[in-house]
Amino acid sequence: MAKIGFIGTGIMGLPMAQNLQKAGHQLFLSSHHDKAPAALVEAGAVALANPKEVAQEAEFIIVMVPDTPQVEDVLFRQDGIAEGVGPNKVVIDMSSISPTATKAFAEKIKATGAQYLDAPVSGGEVGAKAATLSIMVGGCPNTFERALPLFQAMGKNITRVGGNGDGQTAKVANQIIVALNIQAVAEALLFAARNGADPSKVREALMGGFASSRILEVHGERMVKGTFDPGFRISLHQKDLNLALAGARELGLNLPNTANAQQVFSTCAALGGSNWDHSGLIKGLEHMANFSIRKD
């Protein structure tokens, strides 16, 4: 059994923390932002006042918050993780944030004597609940091996990509692929419906061919049914694509399709859809076409 600090128990973080509990690990939670979830406390988690206290008690400290500024705050605030870590401690950031900032955060944490892994995840709320997340890890091999039993309690496809920052780079690449696949499915279903075909039947037909994908299976069904409760919010996918486009500018790259998907997400946000599931991208296309694939 490991002593694990877990900071960030939202849509993804809560089921991830619960799976660590089910695997027999002791959790320590911080109440600096929100009260510790009752479900975790009732199952044996210990609620402490701030991230520093969590880091002092735990061997591994997992962070799962929305964006780069929140990770920086939790790590380096006055009562933050950096004040409570030292030799033999491992900080694991499972948020999806800037690869460049991650490298800087890792160096500052390692200066305390602790180790640092960036380990963003893919698989959404469904994968978090089922403990089938894909986990992309950046950090030294020995630290990765120490943390592997924790990752195995939360996910299935676990890959050490390289050094610090490489896990976040892999996650940004993942989000590019997911966004473009969502847009491809949305455009195909919109084309089919506007041409008079039943989009649910078109989706069913495509599921048996080379166009089949997990996006078509899961998000295609959401598009047809109009069920856009997150899931993974459009605002978070916009954040990830901003990381991709900012990184591309730094590297002198042009990512035209990524930029286009971001524009459609921005249309959704302008329609009040920032909190829609990212499969709701189709509503941005429908708005521009003045046509809905759903009869209602």
Average pLDDT over residues 221-245: 95
Measure the CA–CA gap between 127 and 7, rounded to whole angstroms: 19
Q: Which amino acid is at 151?
A: F
Superfamily of domain 170-289: N-(1-d-carboxylethyl)-l-norvaline Dehydrogenase; domain 2 (1.10.1040.10)
Nearest in space to 233 (alpha carbons), one of 224, 241, 225: 241
- Provide the pLDDT for residue 216: 98
Structure-derived torsion over alpha carbons of residues 108, 71, 157, 203, reported in degrees to the nearest 10: -150
Select 3-163's CATH number: 2.60.120.10, 2.60.40.1120, 3.40.50.720, 1.10.3720.10.
3.40.50.720
Q: Which residues are catalytic?
A: 171
Specify the domain boundaries for CATH 1.10.1040.10 within the chain: 170-289
The DSSP line for 57-85 is H-SEEEE--SSHHHHHHHHHSTTSGGGT-
The DSSP line for 222-242 is HHHHT----SSBHHHHHHHHH
pLDDT tens column, 95-130? 999 999 999 999 999 999 999 999 999 988 889 999
Query: Above pLDDT 70, what percent of the chain?
Result: 100
135, 158 in Cβ contact below 8 A?
A: yes
Q: Is the pLDDT of residue 296 over 70?
A: no
Q: Tokens for 10?
A: 């939202």
Average pLDDT over residues 211-218: 96
Measure the CA–CA gap between 81 and 153, rounded to whole angstroms: 23
- Provide the pLDDT for residue 192: 98
